Structure formats: C-alpha cells, structure tokens
C-alpha cells in the first residue's frame, strides 16, 4: 500500500508540535515510543531508551521523541501546550473513559509541569455516534462517571441499547479537567467505521482489523508552522 500522510489538527499546528492522526498506510515515525495498551488508566512517562509499559496514555517532555498510541475505533487524544513543552497521547475506549483515562493523562501532564488552562487537546478519528451502538451495562458504567454529560452523549436506539458519542465524553472530561472549551476540538467527518478507505475499524472488520497509529512529539518543530498541511 502506498504510504499516506498523517492527518493534522489546527489546534496542534498552532502549538507548533510535530503530530499526526493515522490513516491506512501511514508510516510509524522513527524512535516512536508507545505503551502496551490494556484499556486501563495507567500513564507512562516517556524517556530516552524507555521500554514498553502497560498503559493507555503516555506523557512526554522529551523534545523530538514521538510518543504514540494505536486505535481501531477507540478515541485517540493528542494533547500539547503552546511550544510543545509537554505533550500526551491518550487511548480512550468506553472502558477507559468510564475508568478515567483521559483525566489520568491530563493529571500526569500537570505532574511534569503542564498548566491545564494552556493545554490544547485534539480528538482524532474514532467510531462515531452514527455507528457505535452499546448496551445498557456500558450506559450504566458511563452514567456513573459522567452523569448529565453521558445522557447528552447517548441516544436510545432500541430497547436496552443506545448510540454513543465517545468524542463528546472526551470533550466533557477535558473541560472538567480545566481545559478551556475552545481548546478541545475534533477532526470533522472522521468516523472509522464509515470510512473504510482511510481507517481501520474493529466494529467493521473484526479480528482482522489493522490499527491506526497517532503520535505527538514534544518541542517546537518550525516545519509545522511553515508547512501546516504537509509532512514534517
């Protein structure tokens, strides 16, 4: 397959950080560090030469070192502050959201020096509310954590089931953690299940589904601002 460029988000372009949301065939950056994902809330801190850890978020203040997570319907969240002194990549499925993985990643960023009010969070390609039906046990778990925000993100589809907007819950979690509402945004028209040409989807393809890699690097990369739509 021909290599394709990663997708970029204007919020992170404005921060000047090298980053990308994966599509089919997008190449993994060199020296990329990513955790072994387990649908939990553990957060890994990046360092040169670090080994693989069980975690669903990774934070970094190491300039030029790409940190990443992978998805196949779950929500990838890339976070940075202006200039890229502190960055994070977070993997958020419904289990992680119910357990608090987004909050855990943002708290870990604060521990290495980030200020919540300065952070920018970009929500990447994930299964949309058009395609993501869940059952009542999932609804109950999300309502327990998100309350009214969960009700707003759910639309009843049939008895015992509802369509779920995962991205709305990520936005609610980020704002609740201190990010400004305008500092959290999604990529438009990026449902992984709908768009088979660009994205892998577990809901669509089952066990044979591939994975999309999403990365961000600490430190300002002047090539991003000079060429916001192209490859760094």
Q: With left for phi above 0 and alpha for psi between -120 and 50, is residue 165 left, alpha or beta?
A: beta
Q: With left for phi above 0 and alpha for psi between -120 and 50, is residue 109 left, alpha or beta?
A: alpha
Joined tokens for residue 59: 């934070």
pLDDT at position 230 is: 55
Rounded distance, CA 72 to CA 206, Å? Answer: 10
Q: Which 8-state DSSP code applies to residue 72?
A: S
| Nearest alpha carbon to residue 67 among 37, 101, 110, 96 | 37
Fold of 10-218: 3.60.140
Token pair 């999604």: residue: 186
Rounded distance, CA 42 to CA 205, Å? Answer: 28
Q: With left for phi above 0 and alpha for psi between -120 and 50, is residue 176 left, alpha or beta?
A: alpha
Joined tokens for residue 9: 């988000």
CB distance 127 to 191 below 8 Å: yes
pLDDT at position 50 is: 86
pLDDT at position 227 is: 63
What is the chain's alpha carbon radius of gyration, rounded to the nearest angstrom?
17
CB distance 40 to 99 below 8 Å: yes
Q: What share of the chain is helix, strand, coil (3-state, %, to 5)?
A: 30, 30, 40
pLDDT at position 89 is: 98
pLDDT at position 196 is: 96
Q: For 148, what's the count of Cα atoms within 13 Å in the CB-facing half-sphere?
A: 1
List per-block mean pLDDT (blocks of 10 residues) for the chain, which spans 232 residues.
75 96 94 96 93 96 97 98 97 97 98 97 98 97 97 96 97 96 92 97 96 96 68 54
């Amino acid at each position: 397959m021909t290599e394709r460029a990663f997708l970029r988000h204007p919020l992170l372009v404005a921060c000047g950080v090298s980053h990308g949301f994966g599509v089919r065939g997008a190449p993994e950056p060199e020296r990329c560090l990513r955790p072994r994902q387990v649908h939990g809330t553990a957060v890994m801190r990046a360092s040169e030469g670090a080994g693989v850890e069980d975690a669903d978020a990774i934070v970094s203040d190491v300039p030029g070192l790409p940190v990443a997570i992978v998805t196949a319907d779950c929500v990838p969240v890339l976070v940075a502050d202006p200039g890229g002194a502190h960055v994070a990549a977070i993997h958020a499925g419904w289990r992680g959201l119910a357990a608090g993985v987004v909050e855990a990643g943002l708290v870990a960023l604060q521990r290495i020096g980030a200020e919540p009010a300065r952070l920018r969070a970009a929500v990447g390609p994930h299964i949309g509310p058009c395609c993501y039906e869940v059952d009542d046990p999932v609804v109950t778990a999300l309502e327990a954590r998100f309350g009214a925000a969960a009700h707003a993100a759910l639309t009843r589809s049939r008895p015992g089931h509802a369509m779920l907007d995962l991205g709305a819950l990520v936005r609610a979690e980020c704002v609740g953690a201190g990010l400004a509402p305008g500092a959290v945004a999604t990529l438009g028209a990026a449902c992984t299940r709908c768009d088979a040409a660009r994205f892998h989807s577990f809901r669509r393809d089952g066990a044979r589904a591939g994975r999309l890699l999403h990365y961000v690097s600490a430190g300002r990369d002047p090539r991003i601002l000079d060429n916001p739509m192209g490859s760094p």
